[in-house]
Chain A
């Protein structure tokens, strides 16, 4: 890449994919922005037109908005907490030499390959179901009444389902990080008199923190848009108990046929996601520096 001609050629060569990617991002974003300033309700055809920030006003003053915001944060935070801590423990376990290691690792990764709708349905019908579910069966076995997870604790149940799906991802990343830890460091710490617990806290956790930041960033991006699990289990209910921002946008635009309001909600979600992203990038930048 030294001559001017080769640099120009390189730019020319990559331009199709860059342009395609740019359009891929810019067109939907532009259209969403455009719709968010329009009165565009499918139930009221013909009454279209520019309405300024009215859609935003309706969306932000919707009583469901703050509940949805809180639910979103709860879902993302809960899943992150479970997957990071659980993933670390699982990675420690899987790092041990055991019989059938390869098979065990494949089994651990398996949930990641199940599509969200299917895993949510499996959880809903096989595990959480108050009549036929395995948890109900266990409760009955010990003489307790069955607990209706999706009715009594809908948000927590969805958090569990999503955490189950993402646990393998966190485990995998943290496991590879753990395997890259220089064994001489652990031995040095052992010589220095560090107990197993101290070695975990002072040597392993700092070593894993970088991988954990990557896990947090990637998961947050995907978790903010969690949708399928909510749709097939609770439909955002009971009431709005498990409605997240993403789901609220769906309700707005596809159940209430208010395309303009939905678009405004989408833009609000994008802005909030960016705020989260700024915080994350700062955190990561700090963690990846050393």
Chain B
């Protein structure tokens, strides 16, 4: 249970084609993350799968059955919204029970499923509270609980962590990953944060302007991005791009090198530059170095003793060099 197949799915709002024909296979039990900058159509794609938007063309199959024209409730998918979309006038228990009540389940089943979901999500002590009396993370868990009790074929998450503070986000990221390992249900997760994508996904789908740029495992995307967009989007800090004669030396229009693949030396190296800003994080040091090719970001170890204004030499690790042609495709 939980295979989703998109065949030539298209979405137009009036004359604007938000998503040109798109094919995608989401396998059973996979944790798939749609990632891309805002406005790339990733949320729209999720809403198309959920059935909250009608497709303008193409087919959506869920578990081998055509679900293109099925209403959202009949697709056996559960969604967790960005705003959590909890029902504010109902207690946590009633919130979680709502889908079961709508499905006319009997009271014993409802109670059993709520107890189970509450136990999995550590909500047992909060069942009588209203959503307004809960913290952000707890609300998030209630929203997930409401999805769990339906025992859906797949979970859909629409930027579920973007309303949480940084520390909580890291926690919830872990919790969702653990939940996936426990339930082994297909999950489709939308985010604009590549760190969430890298840490959680089995498979990342990078979207840009409604087009799938690349599909692959996190490390595949990191090691061999198919084009400049994916190369720049995956990885933090961003990959450095250098054009012109320096790139021509490597028979490419543009070369890309990740900040972590550059060696820093005070005395010798390939490229000379001046440190603009140095950010000492303890574990790492991020250097922003002004060179003749423009600003280059470098990630060095935490012990580097370089400060603004110092001269440095940078040597890219040539085995980690990414080459791109004039169209931005990887060579």
Q: Could you say which interface size class chain A belongs to?
A: 10 to 19
Flag if A188 contacts B102 (CB, 8 Å).
no
15 residue pairs from A and B, CB less than 8 Å apart: A182-B85, A184-B85, A187-B72, A187-B85, A190-B52, A190-B71, A191-B78, A191-B79, A192-B98, A192-B102, A193-B73, A194-B73, A194-B98, A198-B102, A290-B89
Interface residues of A in 188-210 (CB under 8 A from B): 188-195, 198, 202-203, 206-207, 209
| Closest beta carbon of chain B to A109's beta carbon, Å | 29
Flag if A182 contacts B83 (CB, 8 Å).
yes
| Closest beta carbon of chain A to B151's beta carbon, Å | 13
Cβ of A185 under 8 Å from chain B: yes
Among candidates B72, B87, B90, B103, residue contacting A191 with C-beta atoms closer than 8 Å? B72
Flag if B73 contacts A191 (CB, 8 Å).
yes
Cβ of B146 under 8 Å from chain A: yes
Flag if A193 contacts B81 (CB, 8 Å).
no
Among candidates A184, A190, A203, A207, residue contacting B73 with C-beta atoms closer than 8 Å? A190
Q: Which residue of A lies closest to B149 (CB)?
A: A192
Flag if B52 contacts A206 (CB, 8 Å).
no
Chain B residues positioned under 8 Å from A185 (CB to CB)? 85-87
Flag if A187 contacts B98 (CB, 8 Å).
no
Flag if A188 contacts B103 (CB, 8 Å).
no
Q: Which residue of A lies closest to B103 (CB)?
A: A193
Flag if B89 contacts A192 (CB, 8 Å).
no
Chain B residues positioned under 8 Å from A187 (CB to CB)? 52, 72, 79, 81, 85
Known: A184-B81, A192-B98. A206 touches B89 (CB 8 A): yes
Flag if A191 contacts B77 (CB, 8 Å).
yes
Interface residues of B in 134-180 (CB under 8 A from A): 146, 150
Cβ of B21 under 8 Å from chain A: no
Cβ of B50 under 8 Å from chain A: yes
| Closest beta carbon of chain B to A183's beta carbon, Å | 9
Cβ of B240 under 8 Å from chain A: no
Q: Which residue of B lies closest to A183 (CB)?
A: B85
How long is the Cα–Cα vector from A189 to B78 in the complex, in angstroms?
A: 11
| Closest beta carbon of chain A to B99's beta carbon, Å | 4
CB within 8 Å of A: which residues of B?
50, 52, 71-73, 77-79, 81-83, 85-90, 98-99, 102-103, 130, 132, 146, 150
- Main SS at interface, chain B: loop
Among candidates B72, B78, B85, B130, residue contacting A290 with C-beta atoms closer than 8 Å? B130
Report the tally of A-B residue pairs with Cβ distances under 8 A: 62
Chain B residues positioned under 8 Å from A290 (CB to CB)? 88-89, 130, 132
Known: A193-B99, A194-B102. A188 touches B85 (CB 8 A): yes
Chain B residues positioned under 8 Å from A195 (CB to CB)? 102
- From A182, A184, A195, A209, name the one whose CB has the most chain B CB atoms within 10 angstroms: A184
How long is the Cα–Cα vector from A202 to B87 in the complex, in angstroms?
A: 9
How long is the Cα–Cα vector from A187 to B51 in the complex, in angstroms?
A: 10
- From A184, A190, A191, A207, name the one whose CB has the most chain B CB atoms within 10 angstroms: A191
Interface residues of A in 104-156 (CB under 8 A from B): none
Chain A residues positioned under 8 Å from B146 (CB to CB)? 188, 192
| Closest beta carbon of chain B to A290's beta carbon, Å | 6
Chain A residues positioned under 8 Å from B98 (CB to CB)? 189, 192, 194, 202
| Closest beta carbon of chain B to A212's beta carbon, Å | 13
Q: Which residue of A lies closest to B73 (CB)?
A: A193
Flag if B150 contacts A192 (CB, 8 Å).
yes
How long is the Cα–Cα vector from A182 to B72 in the complex, in angstroms?
A: 18
How long is the Cα–Cα vector from A194 to B79 in the complex, in angstroms?
A: 14
Flag if B87 contacts A203 (CB, 8 Å).
yes
| Closest beta carbon of chain B to A238's beta carbon, Å | 47
| Closest beta carbon of chain B to A81's beta carbon, Å | 23
Chain A residues positioned under 8 Å from B52 (CB to CB)? 187, 190-191
How long is the Cα–Cα vector from A202 to B97 in the complex, in angstroms?
A: 13
| Closest beta carbon of chain A to B294's beta carbon, Å | 42
Give me 17 other A-B pairs in contact (C-beta within 8 A), A188-B81, A194-B73, A194-B98 excluded.
A184-B82, A185-B86, A187-B72, A187-B81, A187-B85, A189-B98, A191-B50, A191-B52, A191-B79, A192-B98, A192-B99, A192-B146, A193-B103, A202-B98, A206-B87, A207-B88, A290-B88
Q: Which residue of A lies closest to B94 (CB)?
A: A202
How long is the Cα–Cα vector from A193 to B6 in the complex, in angstroms?
A: 23
Chain B residues positioned under 8 Å from A192 (CB to CB)? 73, 98-99, 102, 146, 150
